[in-house]
């Protein structure tokens, strides 16, 4: 039993290159216990979340070997973005609706532009003498779902500007957002059924290539389940630290909350997906890279975002799908650029360059952003704190 425990420890904790970041977890707990500077707690918690997010994905894959493809697919759909979901739930609990919206929006942008862009860039440079091809069918399905999600974000925004600012318009926007969230969840459940049951052949090539990489589980079912529960609890603890100290870090570093939430948090949360997607692109397996990047973006847009709205509804919190004009505009252009990039079924490094540069421009925009923000708790106008910007 001791030998098995040590073997599991080696596979789970030391089986990733991100293991060097695991010491940040106890350091974050110690920093909170001894009331160190809140920016330090935020930074250490952020670093500790990176290996945990990667290991949760690894453990769900291990459990999928024992549960079969259907249950395993549902488990991956639920736990694939566990870090983002847990951060969103803690932010909702603390009534920080803007942090929820920023972090989820950032996850979508990160997957579409940063993860996919660097994958196409690195894959194109590594296979510069070859024409890289991928199956357009699964990319088309994900693009359609992302466009549906975009429509559900645009309608509350347009309704707000069409009806003017007022209590009645805010109520209608909230009601429309809740109805749209239910529709988005129905669409995502249909997508899961489509992917796992009726049209599995569209995703068979991706599964076959993944089986070439790893054919059997390396740890047992109950061991993987126990590790998954334990790491989820640790993620919850660190997520609470992150949500509770994000404003202090923003004040101390002179960086806006929007930049931290939209750029920094998703980079940490998507670190594992980012690395895996680039590795598959290097091996000229673009179908898997697209499945990782587009699948994660679709999951956030069509599952995590509407689920957050429904959970907020249950908690009595008025969260809608209006992500403000600037944020929704960035989301719209990102989805449209990505859809145009993937329309012909071939890839080269120039496509990756364009997507990556789009991400840099959006990052620069939110770095200097100081647009007035309505405080959800008081209703008073404040200012998003940004580098070199006055605060109010």
Q: What is the pLDDT of residue 74?
A: 59
pLDDT mean across residues, the chain? 81
Query: Among 62-76, 97-111, 229-243, whose mean pLDDT is lowest?
Result: 62-76
Whether the predicted pLDDT of 210 surpasses 60: no
Q: Are 373 and 384 in contact (CB under 8 A)?
A: yes
Name the 3-class secondary structure at 370: coil
Q: What is the pLDDT of residue 21?
A: 84
Q: What is the pLDDT of residue 347?
A: 83
Q: Which residue has the tokens 């459990």?
A: 63
The HSE-up count of residue 135 (CA atoms within 13 Å, CB side) is 14
Query: Among 61-75, 216-230, 235-249, 304-318, whose mean pLDDT is lowest?
Result: 61-75
- Its pTM stands at 0.83
Q: Per-residue pLDDT averaged across 27-40, rounded?
A: 87
Whether the predicted pLDDT of 108 surpasses 70: yes
Q: Per-residue pLDDT averaged across 316-343, rounded?
A: 91
Q: Per-residue pLDDT averaged across 66-85, rounded?
A: 67
Q: What is the pLDDT of residue 337?
A: 94
Closest C-alpha among 127, 181, 200 to residue 309: 181
Facing residues of 133 across strands? 346
DSSP 133-194: E--HHHHHHHHHHHHHHHHHHHHHHHHHHHH-SSHHHHHHHHHHHHHHHHHHHHHHHHHHHI
Structure tokens at 228: 């998954």
- Residue 323: alpha-carbon gap to chain centroid: 16
Whether the predicted pLDDT of 216 surpasses 60: yes
Residues 6+ apart with CB under 8 A from 117: 351, 352, 353, 354, 355, 356, 358, 359
Q: What is the pLDDT of residue 193?
A: 85
Q: Which residue has the tokens 């510069």?
A: 128
Q: Are 203 and 288 in contact (CB under 8 A)?
A: no
């Amino acid at each position: 039993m001791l030998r098995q425990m040590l073997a599991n420890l080696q596979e789970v904790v030391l089986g990733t290159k991100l293991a060097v970041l695991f010491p940040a977890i106890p350091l974050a707990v110690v920093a909170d216990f001894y009331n160190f500077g809140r920016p330090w707690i935020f930074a250490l918690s952020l670093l500790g979340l990176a290996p945990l997010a990667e290991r949760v994905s690894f453990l769900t894959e291990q459990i999928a070997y024992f549960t079969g493809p259907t249950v395993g697919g549902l488990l991956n759909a639920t736990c694939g973005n566990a870090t983002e979901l847990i951060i969103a739930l803690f932010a909702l609990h603390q009534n920080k609706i803007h942090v929820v919206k920023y972090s989820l929006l950032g996850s979508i942008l990160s997957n579409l532009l940063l993860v996919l862009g660097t994958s196409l860039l690195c894959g194109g440079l590594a296979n510069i003498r070859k024409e890289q091809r991928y199956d357009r069918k699964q990319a088309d399905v994900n693009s359609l779902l992302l466009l549906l999600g975009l429509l559900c974000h645009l309608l509350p925004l347009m309704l707000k500007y069409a009806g003017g600012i007022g209590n009645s318009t805010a109520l209608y926007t909230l009601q429309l957002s809740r109805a749209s969230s239910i529709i988005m969840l129905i669409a995502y459940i249909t997508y899961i059924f489509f992917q796992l049951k009726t049209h599995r052949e569209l995703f068979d090539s991706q599964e076959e290539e993944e089986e070439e990489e790893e054919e059997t589980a390396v740890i047992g079912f109950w061991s993987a389940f126990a590790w998954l529960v334990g790491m989820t609890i640790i993620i919850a603890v660190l997520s609470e630290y992150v949500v509770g100290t994000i404003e202090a870090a923003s004040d101390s570093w002179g960086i806006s909350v929007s930049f931290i939430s939209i750029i920094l948090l998703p980079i940490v949360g998507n670190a594992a997906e980012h690395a895996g997607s680039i590795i598959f692109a290097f091996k000229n397996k673009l179908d898997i890279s697209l499945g990782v990047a587009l699948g994660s973006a679709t999951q956030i847009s069509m599952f995590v975002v509407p689920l957050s709205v429904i959970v907020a509804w249950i908690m009595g919190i008025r969260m809608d799908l209006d992500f403000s004009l600037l944020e929704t505009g960035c989301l719209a252009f990102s989805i449209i650029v990505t859809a145009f990039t993937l329309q012909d079924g071939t890839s080269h490094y120039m496509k990756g360059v364009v997507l990556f540069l789009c991400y840099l421009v959006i990052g620069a925009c939110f770095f200097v952003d100081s647009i007035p923000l309505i405080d959800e708790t008081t209703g008073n106008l404040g200012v998003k704190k940004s580098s070199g910007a006055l605060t109010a």
